[in-house]
Structure formats: structure tokens, C-alpha cells
Structure 1
Amino acid sequence: MATSSSPYSAMSPDDRLLAACSGDDGPLVLRDISTGRDLPRRWPRALDQAFCTAQTATFTPDGRALAVPVEGGIRTWDMRTGEERPEADLPGAPEPSLDFSDDGTTAVALGNQEVVLWRVADPGTPLLRHPIGEGTAREVRLDTEAGVIRVRTSARVVRTLGIADVLTDRHRQRPLAGARFSPDGRSLATAERRGGTTVVRLRDAHDGTLLRSLPGRSCEGCPDPVLTFSPDGGTLAHTTGTERGTTVHQWSVRHGRAKARHTVASWVEDLVLPGGGGPPVIAGTKPGRQENDNRKVEVWRIDGRTDGHIDGRTDGRTDGRTDGRTDKRLLSRGSLGSPVLAPDGRALLTLDGRMTDLRTGRSTPALRGEDSLITGAFSPDRRFLAVCDDNGRLTLWNGPGTRLLAVLSAGGPGEHRPASALSFSADGRHLAASTPDGSVRVWETGTPGLPGAEYPGADGAVLALGFAGDELLIATAHGAVRGLPLSGERAAGIACRRAGGGLTRGQWRTYLPNTPYRPTC
């Protein structure tokens, strides 16, 4: 039976069961409080060792299982059958603090300098990972009804994290392969794997609601679709790969119908739709494997009629005739490195540091001093160019890439934290960049020397970033779209609503006794 010398004990939520150790080394005893009897043992000795050496443990809300924080994660055993449930992996956490939602479907824990939220049925796919300061968090509580996580950082301070969006049913079990927001912040295009193919879908940018599945499917083993919108957001262009090339589809977002379809003998790596209804410009390489030394980037402007007649159909299929004519004008061939097209289709940056004027074909060195670049983006008006290398060094240049404006993130050897997504706002005033842990930083391009505003991650690596007015839009592989305020006024309003109002005069005297009182909300 359990004794007063037990190092730790845990009571079930209904006060019917008591779990305790019969001594410092166990074994674990489970007692029915109503009868005073110990229940038959069905659990393995691994639970004895975990429970009797733990600093804390807790029953699941239904009282059927016992969750024990261990070094590097949470282990849970069903006390009726003795079977161990899937472990929640929390690398680097000594013994995480843990809490469950009232219905037992969701759990939260303090990991190694982070808060981690997951579905109990799928602990291997966290809903949220939110970084916290080292040594600051002491206790965590989950309130799904209010849509918040509360983290106690001291005797007087409790931080709250809003998780209402994360808890929606829109959290995806199948990760997205790609995503792209429209410049106006109204639409979101997503690439989603289905069996051996990849399909493209159009969604509402504010909540991720599916609007329409678009025509075309990429073949198994072909490159993932490239997604882009026209500057006004009215047209979406996307690619579907075949073994011999790529089909470029154009879809009218406003009218909900296919506009054109063209096939090229290239694997497309970048695609733009210039303003004013101009034809698509694509950049890519010949299909099949190529040695790096022989890899050449080709740039084409696609014009003329579609490959087949669409005749206003909304399903994107043709009527079977193929007498339409497509003009494919080769603008450039050469250059090594991955291509980044300017939004107006008039310039090409390759990440080996060459800038090509596609009107004249003239290629010149750019981005002097940069090396090992892996991603880049132009602002919509081509005033700015942002690039990132494989060590996480993020820099801002003038549009031609001839003058360095600022080093936004220094990075460094061994850090390996390159930006997984880059995006400028439609007016070019803001630049957003993400890191592999899902955090996002936003800079004002007019004052790039100032530190950017940082937004913690919530669901793994970011696939796409966008802007809608004073709101930052974030799309991840598993989660619904998140919208975060960019203006201080909106952020303050959200904080006031979450806190239930500002400080009273009495609270002000307690926390800020030497500062004159003023309303905070």
C-alpha cells in the first residue's frame, strides 16, 4: 500500500483513484479511494520507474491513463490495460510541466524553452510550438474554452497565448506542399499531395476555407507546383509537371473559370504574371537530371492561344481539340543557379549572383559579397531585393542588386537557419521573413537598420507570408491561416481584450508604485 514516505502521489480528477509509490524505489500502487483497496496490477515496470522517480505526474481528465513527464518528453500509460500510448517528444526538456484540456483531447507542456500544444491522439504532430525565454516559465495551464494557454513566469506574472485559431478543425493532418498569398491578401493558393499526384486549390486567405479545386495534376516524382498571382490578385497561375515538361494554367479568381493553358518543355522553377494582363513569364530548366555544371536556366514568355479550347468552362478541361497555337518566346538561356524573376517579368536574378535584363539579354554581376544564396524576392515595384544564404544571413539590396542597404539577419556558420519564406507587402513598405522554427520577423524597408518586429512560431515551418492591410498573414503546412496585427494600436486592443481590460488604480499602485497612473485600455 502507499505510504507517507512516497516521493509523489497523484489523484484522479474524480477523486476515485490515488497513484503512489510504496517506497522510494516503488513499486507503483493504484488505490480505489471508495473501497480502500489496491487495484490489480496491469502496467509494466517501466511505469514504476518513471512515476517513482518523477517530480510530478497527472491523470488524464477521464481518469483512465497516467501521464508522466520524463526527460525529453511525456510518457502515458492506460491504467486499465497497461499499454503505453504514443509518446510526446520534447527534446531537451528535463521534466516538462503538463496540462490537459477538460475533454482530454488536447495537451500542453513546457518543453525546452518552448510551449508545445498537441492533440492527444497525435502527439507526433504538434499544433503549436511557441518559444519562451530561458528559465522564465514555471507552470502551464490550458483553457480551450477561452482559447488561451496561460504560462506562469513568476509569482505575480502570467502570460497568455491566444490559440483559438490553432484549435479549429482546419488544422491539417496532411501537410501542404506549397502555398502563396495574393498581393491583395484576399486569396491563398495551396499545393496538396493526393496519392501520387499534387493538386492545386484556391482558398480564402483569412481563414483557409476551400473555395475551389483547380484543373491539372502533377505527376508522381515531378516538381511541386509553382504558384503566383497577378499584381491585382485577379488571376492565379500555377504549374503541373509531366515527365516531358510543364503545363502552365491561368485561372480567373474573380470569374471562377479557366483562362488559358500552355505547355512548355521545361521544368518551371519560377513564374510571374506581369501587370496589365501581360503574358506569363517562366524560368526553369530542361526536364530530367542534369549535372550542375551543365544546368542552364531558360526564360520564356508565353503568349498566344491556349493549347486546347477552354470555351469558358469552369472545370478547366478542354473540348478535345488541340488546334490552338501557343507562342513561346525564349528570352534568355544561360546562367547557373536557381532563378528569381522580377514581378514585371523584365529581369532575372539567378542565385549565383547574376542579374539579366530580359529585354536586352545583357547579364551583369549582382549582389557582390554574397555567397551560397538559397532564396530571394523582389518587392512588387522592384525598388528592393531581399536574399538569404544557407547560414541564415538575410540582406536587403536595391532592386538592381548593386547596393547593399542593410544586413537584416547576420546568421553564421553552423546556425543553418535560412528563411523558409520571404515576402514584401504590396506597397513595398514591409518585408517579412520566416525561419524553420516558424517564427517570423517583419522590417520596414524605409528604416531597415532598425530591428524587425518578431512573431513567434505556432505550427512549424512557414510556407507562405502575405499582407492584408495592417495584418500579417501566415500559412504553414498543417495549420489554418494565422492573421497577426502589424500596427501597435491593433496589438494593444487584442491584449486589452485578452486581459479583460487595463490595470485598475489599485493594481497600478501594486505593480507601478513610482509611476503616475494612466489608463492602459
Structure 2
Amino acid sequence: MVTHRRTGGGRLPPGMVTAVGPHARALAISGDDGARLWDTAAGRWTAGSAVLPAIADVRFTGDGRAYLAADGDRLRLGSVADGRVLFEARVPGATATAVSADGRYVAACPEGQALRVWDTAAGRPLTGAWQQDRLCRVGAVLLELGTDRMAAVTADGVRVWDIRTGRRVADLDEPRVHHVSFSADGAFLATVDGAELRVWRLTAPDRPVFRHPLNNQQINRPPAFAPDGRTLRYLEGGTVHTLDLGAAVTPDWRPVAQADVRLSPDGRTYATAERTGDHYLFRLCDTADGRVLRTLPPVPVPVSDDPALPVLPVDILPLLVFSTDGTRFGYGVSASGHTVTAQPFTVWDVPHDRAVSTLDLPGAAVIAAALGPRGRTLHTTRMTAAGRFINEVWDTGTRRRTAEPAGPAAHDLTLRGDGRLLAGVGTVARPPSWRAAGLDLVQGSPLGTLAFAPDGSRLAAGDQTGRVTLWDGELRHRTGVLRNVFPPPLDGHPGPEAVTALAFSPDGRTLAVGGDGGGLQLWDVPTGQPLGGLLTTPGEAMYTLAFGPDGTTLYAGSAHVPLQRYDIDPAHALSRVCARAGGAGPSRAQWRTYVPDAPYRRVC
């Protein structure tokens, strides 16, 4: 599949091919007298010419050296070379079988009994949580074994166990799956139903990390991961489809989630927040190589001034905010819904690596903050224990509050680059009074997030239905709406994917839109059209987005992968297409297949 060259061919004996070994070296062929294994390279019967019942369920190991067959009440692991029995067990009426790629484990569903698993090397059955499930008694079951993992597919969903520990590690609410496959390391599971191919990270199985619509394609064989785990292929009709999983299976996934991540507007720096005991650690890092530039002084978790209302973990809110020019970083820790005894907020000079101001903001919790150019002005929204919201403006140099503007308070604060317009959830405010006025930025839908273009000429407002509304830079006129292009919600997720991150390119012509389901789409702002399809991400909520200074790199951050890089340079994209087409560029036939809506031209 890498070189697109045929590796072999030849005539087969009469019968029907019912199973294919790795690289098609061995085939199970069922004829009138039963089933036997055919060696395609040697052109003869193999496995000692052993004859199995024609209805035998034959499966091959990943190395092609052994085969598993359910023959009557027997489950047998045999050698492909000479038919020698490697393992055998009695399994009455097996309705499903599976063998691991290395042949170490076999599994079977005896009719009316509990699911059984064996260690073939030790020749003994294994115990585990699968024994408590009534899978083999409730209907059809599909089994799959990976590296120390086992999956069982029923009409109710997919269950996955760790064979070594015996524990169930995932329970996927996927009731219509008809194919499953493990990655080589057992970390990911691919599932196929009638609508989509999905890839799941088994340490975080709440939602898939990759979704590929099938558009009525009929897949009759399980998909296959490449050995490196970054490529997935499936066969549909006579066509092999190759999918690049990319960031979906990134090795940079961290087991411990960051409390928050924030990218600077210029894309040069990003900040993370992580709880350690009763403190939060904030780190500034370089997007070029991910190295930590500075671990900032720890900030304690706030303490409620009412002992009867202690601060709970769910109340804690780390505050991370860059100034509009990216030269200053502000950070602190709040406790939503509480009045606290202390609430320090520090402004850090990023280029000179030093603190320039620390404000202590005791009292009502700060739930939103925005820093003006060079961090000279701090805008905050507080929420009292009684649920009342308060707007404030602070001078960070004198550490004094300069205004407590009237009007509705905003739950999400975004400053224009020049610091002279403040937008929030349903509000807009301007100097000198900063009095907030009501403004519906997203046509009645709940607001997700906001972003100004670098030159202040536009505002993008993303909502919780996945749409983005565009405004002029003065928020006088709505200039367009970008539709929701995120995938439809899965079962159990009733709402559409919400917009959680936005960023304009330096020239303001491209907008990146990230969602809470891991969706990431680029848009051409002047035409209001999407640029290509969704970018592949680790599959979790996008916290923050930013373009690099030259606009050819997009950075993204999420809880478990705080830094993700996407090369969006058109010249680089063209070189990759040319390389995939063999260097000379697409032929006219390939062009008609893949670019049917444009006239042919040489691009390489």
C-alpha cells in the first residue's frame, strides 16, 4: 500500500476464501470437502494439509505463523507451516473467537456461558472482569484481541478490558459497531458503524479523538493501523482508503490535564496552569520548541472568608491572560461564588522576564480579566457570593482601582488591540467611562468566546451552536455568519459542538475556529468559506488558538496537549501533495478523480 505496487498473484484452487493472513501469504479456502490453508507464495496447501469443517471460523495471528480455528467444541491454535497444535481447549458452541497478533492470547464466547480468555504460552485460562459480564448469553458478540487488550462488541456497545490486570478500561456507548481494531500498542481502538469510522483513546474514552464520515461506504473488513499507529487504512469495494491520524494519536498527550492553557496573541509564548497540592504553578513556555521559559512563583488556592462555606475544587478558577500586544502576562487564582481573604494577581513582563506589578484583590471572586497594551490597565469582572456581578478597571502601575463602571457585567472579557474597546458576553464598553451597554453579539445563542483581528478591524464571536458571527471593529454592524462545520453530535451528546477558541491570522484574512469536541477549522474571512476540511486534533476541547508571526503556523492548546503545531503554509501543502503523487504531480487521471471541479494544470 505504500508503493502502490502489486506484490504477487496467481491461481487459487476451487472454493471460497474465508480468511486472509498477513500480507496474503496464507488463505483459508472453504470447499466441498472442508476448509484448508493455501500458501500463496508456494502455490500449495500448507498447515500439513489439515482439513477443517467448511464452517470453521479461522483467524490468523499478526505474524502469520499461526491460525485459530473453532472446530466443533474445540478451539485450536495451529502452526501455519506444518499444522502442529500449539494450544487447544474445549469450548462448547463457540459463537465468537479471537487471537492476539502474537498468538499469546485467545478468547472465545461459549454458548450460554461466560466469556473465556486463555494464555496460550502458559496453557491456562485467565481471570478478569469479563467473567462477570453476561455477554455470551445475550446475543451476537464480536471479539477482538490487541496487545494486552480485549474488546467485545454487542448490540449495547463496546467494552474493553486490560488482559494483564483483568480490569475493564473502557465502555463505549457505540451500539451499532460492526468492526473494531486495536493499534499495535493497544492505546487506541478504531470502530466502524454504518455512518463513521472513529478512533478512541482508551485512557480517555469519553469521546473519539478522530471521526471520519463514511458517506454510505460499505466496509466489510476491520480497518488496519499501520505499525507506527499514525496511519489507518480501510478497504471499501476495490478501493483502499488511507487516513492520516496525525495529532489524534500524538505521543505528546499528558496523563495529567492542565487546569488551563493560554497562547499569546503573537503566537510566540504560551502559559499553562497546573494545581500542585494547595498551590497553582504557572509556566511560560516557548512555542518554537515547547521549552519552559519560566516557572512563575506559586499562587495559593484562595481561602473563603466564611468558614462555613469552604472553597471546593469545583469552585477554583485559574486566571491566565496576555496583554493585547503579548508583552505582559497576568495570572492569579480565583474561587467562583466566594468572598476570599486574599486574591493576588501578578503582571509579568514577558520579554524582560520579571514581575512588574502585583495587585491584591480580596473580596468577591474575579471570574474574568483582560489586560490592555503593555499590561498597564486591568479590566475585571467579579461575582459576589450573592451572585451579583461587578465591573472594575485597575491601573496596574499604581495598583489602584480607577473605575467601577455601571451597566451589565460581562462573563468573558476581550479587549481590542488598542485597548479602547471591551467586548464581553452580551456587552460592549468604551472609554473614558467604560460603562457597559448591552449588545447581542451572537443572535440570541449562548456566547462561547470572542476574538479581535490584530488590526482591530473585525470581531469574531463564536457561540455554543458552533457558529461564528463577524462584526466590524467598532461593533456597529454585523458583517457575516460562518456556519457550523463541526461533526454532528454523537449519541449521548445532545448539543452541537460549541466554539471555545478563536484566532485571526496576522493579516486578518484567515480565522481559526476551535470547538469543545476537538474540532478545528480554518476560514477565509473575505469570502466566508472554509479552507479545506477540519484539521486533525487530539480530540479534546480547544482552550486557545494563535497564529505565528508570519501566519504560516497555527498553534493550539488543550488540557492534555498544551502545545500543538499546524503547518498551514500553502507552499508546504503543495510540496506534500506532490510527494504523495510521486513527485511529478497528479496525472490527468488523478486530477479528474481528486479535483473534478477544476481544470487540469501542472502544479509540481
TM-score, scaled relative to structure 2: 0.68
Shift of 1:173: 1.0
Shift of 1:94: 1.8
The answer for the alignment partner of 1:430 in structure 2 is 510
Q: 1:51 and 1:209 mapped to 2: Cα distance?
A: 54
Contact 1:75/1:84 (8 A) holds in 2 = no
**Residue deviations 1:450-478 (CA, integer Å, cap 9, x gap):** 34544245322111111112222221222
**Residue deviations 1:225-261 (CA, integer Å, cap 9, x gap):** 2222234433222222362453221223233333321
Distance change >3 Å, CA 441–CA 76, structure 1 → 2? closer
**Residue deviations 1:187-237 (CA, integer Å, cap 9, x gap):** 111222334543322223245444332223251545422222234433222
Please give the secondary structure, in 2, of the residue aligned with 1:421. strand
Asked whether 1:462 is paired with 2:542, we answer yes
Tell me the amino acid that sits aligned with residue 447 of structure 1: T
**Higher RCO (C-alpha under 8 Å, 6+ residues apart):** 1
Distance change >3 Å, CA 384–CA 267, structure 1 → 2? farther
Q: 1:444 and 1:175 mapped to 2: Cα distance?
A: 32
Please give the secondary structure, in 2, of the residue aligned with 1:254. coil
The answer for the alignment partner of 1:386 in structure 2 is 460
Q: 1:509 and 1:372 mapped to 2: Cα distance?
A: 42
The answer for the alignment partner of 2:25 in structure 1 is none
Shift of 1:480: 5.2
Asked whether 1:249 is paired with 2:346, we answer yes
**Superposition map of 1:470-509 within 5 A:** 470-479=552-561, 481-497=563-579, 501=583, 508=590
Contiguous gaps of at least 5 residues in structure 1: 306-325
The answer for the alignment partner of 1:98 in structure 2 is 181
Please give the secondary structure, in 1, of the residue aligned with 2:297. strand
Shift of 1:148: 2.6
Asked whether 1:155 is paired with 2:238, we answer yes
Contact 1:50/1:70 (8 A) holds in 2 = no
Q: 1:386 and 1:510 mapped to 2: Cα distance?
A: 37
Shift of 1:499: 5.9
Shift of 1:300: 1.4
Contact 1:187/1:204 (8 A) holds in 2 = yes
Tell me the amino acid that sits aligned with residue 284 of structure 2: L
Contact 2:231/2:245 (8 A) holds in 1 = yes
Please give the secondary structure, in 1, of the residue aligned with 2:318. coil
The answer for the alignment partner of 2:355 in structure 1 is 258
Shift of 1:447: 3.0
Shift of 1:181: 1.1
Distance change >3 Å, CA 144–CA 465, structure 1 → 2? farther
Distance change >3 Å, CA 127–CA 144, structure 1 → 2? farther
Structure label with greater radius of gyration: 2
Shift of 1:482: 2.5
2:217 paired residue among 98, 120, 136: 136
Asked whether 1:145 is paired with 2:235, we answer no
The answer for the alignment partner of 2:146 in structure 1 is 60
Contact 1:153/1:159 (8 A) holds in 2 = no
Q: 2:77 and 2:321 mapped to 1: Cα distance?
A: 62
1:272 paired residue among 342, 367, 370: 370
Q: CA RMSD in A?
A: 4.1
Shift of 1:337: 4.2
Asked whether 1:354 is paired with 2:354, we answer no
Tell me the amino acid that sits aligned with residue 57 of structure 2: Y
Q: 1:110 and 1:403 mapped to 2: Cα distance?
A: 45
**Residue deviations 1:423-474 (CA, integer Å, cap 9, x gap):** 22344333222222211222233333x3454424532211111111222222
Contiguous gaps of at least 5 residues in structure 2: 1-50, 92-106, 117-134, 302-311
The answer for the alignment partner of 1:13 in structure 2 is 62
Distance change >3 Å, CA 262–CA 509, structure 1 → 2? closer
Give the total of aligned pairs: 484
Q: 1:203 and 1:460 mapped to 2: Cα distance?
A: 21
**Residue deviations 1:32-76 (CA, integer Å, cap 9, x gap):** 543365137797734376599768654435xx6654444465445
Shift of 1:301: 2.0
Q: 2:212 and 2:278 mapped to 1: Cα distance?
A: 36
**Superposition map of 1:109-508 within 5 A:** 109-110=191-192, 113-118=196-201, 122=203, 124=205, 128-136=209-217, 138=219, 139-145=222-228, 147-163=230-246, 165=247, 167-195=249-277, 197-206=279-288, 208-219=290-301, 221=313, 222-241=315-334, 243-244=340-341, 246-265=343-362, 266-275=364-373, 277-286=374-383, 288-291=384-387, 295-304=388-397, 326-343=399-416, 344-351=418-425, 353-367=426-440, 370-375=443-448, 376-409=450-483, 415-448=495-528, 450-451=529-530, 453-458=532-537, 459-468=539-548, 469-479=551-561, 481-497=563-579, 501=583, 508=590
Shift of 1:366: 2.9
Tell me the amino acid that sits aligned with residue 382 of structure 1: G
Distance change >3 Å, CA 11–CA 369, structure 1 → 2? closer
TM-score, scaled relative to structure 1: 0.78
